[in-house]
Structure 1
């Protein structure tokens, strides 16, 4: 029997509505909602002075970003988290409805999509990156809440009074690490990048929003991973770290480099 202080899992149905074989799930709605709301906010953002991309560019950028998120997220999960299993059953790589997406893979996919878009439109890559980074935490916020509703990616066992007993996590209360990530990677990071995005923009600021997002995400993910249950097929890796932590370190370092780069650019000569 779980401790009296444990919080019962709310047991929200992952399926919002179903019509025959068609089912609308919270996880799918999180992806769609994040992309569409991000698209709307980005169109408004780039009308402000100092941006080199237009609202019409954002319409086309949405298509590239969507491809980057889906293809990169899926391939990243296959390569980083479960390659041996998918090599034995390659057809399962296409079965995205069964779950298995990697943020770090999605990040790589989005970076490639942004590079291709910036090159084809002859606009500065960092302008595109800043615009996308200003709204990406929305998708993370929605996605982590959907992970919680699905009862997946839960945390390690805890004796703290706010531990949650997950349906597939055994009888022990666990950290609701999905909600920790929703708060840090989603809400807190969204406030930070939006504050930067709404300030008057100068050429020297290019890369600051993107750098803040990368550094903030990498740091938040690295810290929350101490409370998150590692993937069963991987466990703990080098130095007792998880795959999520090892992948987040270079993300944070690149973000810090971009922040320091912009700070040097505005320093008086």
Structure 2
């Protein structure tokens, strides 16, 4: 019998009386700080006012958490939360959805844009570059929590999450974390190549296309997260990822066509 890696880490990093600090919370906070750091670098690089970043961080933090929570409640277990609406507020019990977080970021960024002179698409492009590494850290937090599990497998690198069961599973949280890190490298490369060119929306399109293509593919080795079942072979996460992927492709096409049109008209 193969000796699989057994994951039995306590999700609580530190307990001080009633106060408990979780690994997931540490990763979540690190994600925001990492995103802030890259946005600071971008603002300094493009000679923007870095004093605006503190306010933006608050908008994005609230939008991310509220969007992720509502997304989980509406997308993955609506019947339960419609019957127990106060449970929507019980965020400490777990349940955050990345699709909802994405929508929350878009809405909060638009509200922030109303108070600045920056282009909404310019902001989306820069936030896309800065936040993806944070998403990678959050998936590591999911790994510490032994949640968002992969399906059982016999691959040599399978992990047994002993706090859940004793089945060897795909460490899909680590797959996703590594995938987001690769997307980050692609976006950083694209940003450096296009930062001073009039190509609006390309980074947003790349982010949306690559992230939700990755989500769609990894759902094949991930356990279903929704509390309800569908009769099709696709998971809820895959159904949610398809429209985002198509929007991302449309953004890339629009961005490149718009850039070519502007070049032809200026030439």
* Residues 134-172 of structure 1, C-alpha deviations (whole Å, 9 max, x = no match): 021122111111111111111111122222122255332
Shift of 1:250: 1.0
What is the deviation of 1:128?
0.8
Normalising by structure 1, report the TM-score.
0.92
Give the Cα–Cα distance (whole angstroms) in 2 for the partners of residues 14 and 242 of structure 1.
27
Tell me the alpha carbon deviations over residues 240-263 of structure 1, each in whole angstroms, 9 at most, x when there is no partner.
101111111111111111111221
The answer to whether the aligner puts 1:247 opposite 2:248 as a matched pair is no
Q: 1:262 aligns with which of 227, 249, 255?
A: 255
Moved more, 191-200 or 24-33: 191-200
Q: Which runs of 5+ in 2 are unaligned?
A: none
Residue by residue, what CA displacement relative to the aligned partner does 1:107-146 show, whole Å, maximum 9, x if unpaired? 1111001111112213210111011110211221111111
Which residue number in structure 1 is paired with residue 187 of structure 2? 193
User: How many correspondences in the alignment?
Assistant: 262
Contact 2:59/2:108 (CA < 8 Å) preserved in 1?
Answer: yes
Alignment of 1:111-130 (within 5 A): 111-130=106-125
Equivalent in 177, 183, 191 of residue 178 of structure 2: 183
Q: Which residue of structure 2 lines up, in the alignment, with residue 131 of structure 1?
A: 126
Asked whether 1:204 is paired with 2:198, we answer: yes
Q: Report the 3-state secondary structure (helix = DSSP H, G, I; strand = E; otherwise coil) of the residue aligned with 2:193.
A: coil
Alignment partner of 1:76: what SS? Answer: helix
Distance 1:183 1:14, change over 3 A: same
1:54 correspondence with 2:49: yes
What is the CA RMSD across the aligned residues, in angstroms? 1.7
